[in-house]
Amino acid sequence: MKSYSAAAALAGLISTVAGHGFITSPKPRMPGDAMKSACGQQVYNNQASDNYGNVQGELQVASSQSDYDEAACDIWLCKGYKFDDNKDNVQTFTAGETVPFTVDIRAPHTGVANVSVVKTSSNTVIGSAFQSWDVYASNAATIPANQTSFDITIPSDIGSECSTAGDCVIQWYWNAASIDQTYESCVDFTVGGSGSGSDGGPSSTPSSSAVATSTAAATSAAATSAAAAATSSAQATSTSAAAAPSSTGGSSSTLPEEFTLDTFISWLEQTAGSSSSKKARRARVHARAF
Ligand SMILES: *[C@@H]1O[C@H](CO)[C@@H](O)[C@H](O)[C@H]1NC(C)=O
Ligand SMILES: *[C@@H]1O[C@H](CO)[C@@H](O)[C@H](O)[C@H]1NC(C)=O
Ligand SMILES: [Cu+2]
């Protein structure tokens, strides 16, 4: 079992708590007021503070909120992010156009992933996936560059369904079933131009708007690698019982300079009290959100 210095473990835990994946280009859908009114204040806060977070983390937050409207939020489509918050952020593509995509993965989790056109009114996939990975972001290896940087080619037969802004998104979908974490990120777009047979014609919103896509918090390289290490350690040890420090008094224990992640979580449970222990345990298996 690996040991970490206090700083590394803290950095690792903190960035393990943060979410792990999002599209960085083209400009993706971001949270906003329409999402807030559909999904509730707390779900909005959860994503506004970390748009890299996963759907299950949102659902966990939503479960205790009366202003979460399940139907309106439609959380499995783009994590509940709304077109109405992204009207100035619509890409205009033409049939046959090659569009480079980049995805940022902050920590790996072996899963499956795909990238497809999704019809927003029904949350159904149109056509076949642009990309589909049986093994994605594996913990066992360095993430291949072609999983985070790839081209898609805009099909010629979606012009009629995707000519109006808001009707379709290109959704990147990553599901790590073993840890029950699903990540989604969407790009709003319209298709026009030759070969599409588009009758309505796209509302050509410029794609150069100044919508910020920057991440909520910049993660240092050190924190990122600590996160990866902490994550794999957490998984490797997730079935073993929590190690010491033994809780005889349970009042105040000091954190040793070197410790394992398990030890740190145990210490956290002792120090923060039993109400935090469930959260800490969840974090130990895999952190979502404190
Ligand atoms: C993408 O993956 C999910 C989960 O496996 C699946 O439900 C969905 O149908 C896939 N999309 C496509 C276009 O294959
Ligand atoms: C992605 O890259 C890996 C090597 O890093 C290669 O083995 C694999 O065939 C590539 N996949 C595609 C679809 O190009
Ligand atoms: Cu994770």
- Per-residue confidence (pLDDT) for residue 188, from 0 to 100: 98
Do 127 and 259 lie in a common domain? Answer: no
Do 53 and 116 lie in a common domain? Answer: yes
What is the 3-state composition of the chain as percent helix, strand, coil, each rounded to the nearest 5?
A: 30, 25, 45
Structural domain total, the chain: 2
Do 94 and 176 lie in a common domain? Answer: yes
Which positions ≥6 away from 146 have C-beta within 8 Å?
A: none
Residue entry with tokens 């010629």: 156
Residue 202 lies in a domain: no
Residue 61 has φ and ψ, to the nearest 5°, of -65, -45
Indicate which atom in ligand 2 lies nearest the CA of residue 146.
Answer: 1
Do 172 and 284 lie in a common domain? Answer: no
**β-strands 4-5, 111-119 pairing:** unpaired
Between CA 185 and CA 179 the distance in angstroms is 19
Between CA 246 and CA 37 the distance in angstroms is 46
Interval between CA 108 and ligand 2 midpoint (Å): 17
The token pair that represents 55 in the structure block: 């759907």
Among 128, 162, 192, the domain-final residue is 192
Residue 27 lies in a domain: yes
Interval between CA 149 and ligand 2 midpoint (Å): 11
Interval between CA 136 and ligand 1 midpoint (Å): 13
**Per-residue pLDDT tens digits for 22-44:** 999 999 999 999 999 999 999 99
Identify the CA nearest to 19 among candidates 238, 190, 178, 174. Answer: 174
Residue spans of the chain under pLDDT 70: 1-17, 193-290
Residue 214 lies in a domain: no
- The range of the structural domain enclosing residue 266 comes to 234-290
Probe residue for ligand 2, chosen from 146, 150, 151, 153 as the CB with the greatest number of ligand atoms within 8 Å: 146
- Per-residue confidence (pLDDT) for residue 193, from 0 to 100: 60
Cis status, amide bond into 31, omega within 30 of 0:
no
Residue identifier of the C-alpha nearest atom 14 of ligand 1: 129
Among 162, 192, 222, the domain-final residue is 192
- Per-residue confidence (pLDDT) for residue 149, from 0 to 100: 98
Do 151 and 269 lie in a common domain? Answer: no
Residue 188 lies in a domain: yes
Residue 221 lies in a domain: no
Do 277 and 186 lie in a common domain? Answer: no
Do 122 and 264 lie in a common domain? Answer: no
Bridge partner residues of 175 (DSSP): 112, 182
Residue 143 has φ and ψ, to the nearest 5°, of -65, 120
Residue 225 lies in a domain: no
Do 167 and 240 lie in a common domain? Answer: no
Residue 227 lies in a domain: no
The number of the ligand nearest the C-alpha atom of 141 reads 2
Protein residues with C-beta less than 5 angstroms from the ion ligand 3: 20, 109
- Per-residue confidence (pLDDT) for residue 132, from 0 to 100: 98
Between CA 150 and CA 140 the distance in angstroms is 21
- Per-residue confidence (pLDDT) for residue 287, from 0 to 100: 40
Do 20 and 160 lie in a common domain? Answer: yes
Which runs of consecutive H residues, i.e. helices, occur in the chain? 6-17, 33-39, 41-49, 55-62, 70-73, 221-236, 261-272, 277-286
The token pair that represents 190 in the structure block: 């319209």
Interval between CA 190 and ligand 2 midpoint (Å): 29
Do 14 and 83 lie in a common domain? Answer: yes
Residue 204 lies in a domain: no
Interval between CA 284 and ligand 3 midpoint (Å): 11
Probe residue for ligand 1, chosen from 114, 118, 168 as the CB with the greatest number of ligand atoms within 8 Å: 114
Do 138 and 271 lie in a common domain? Answer: no
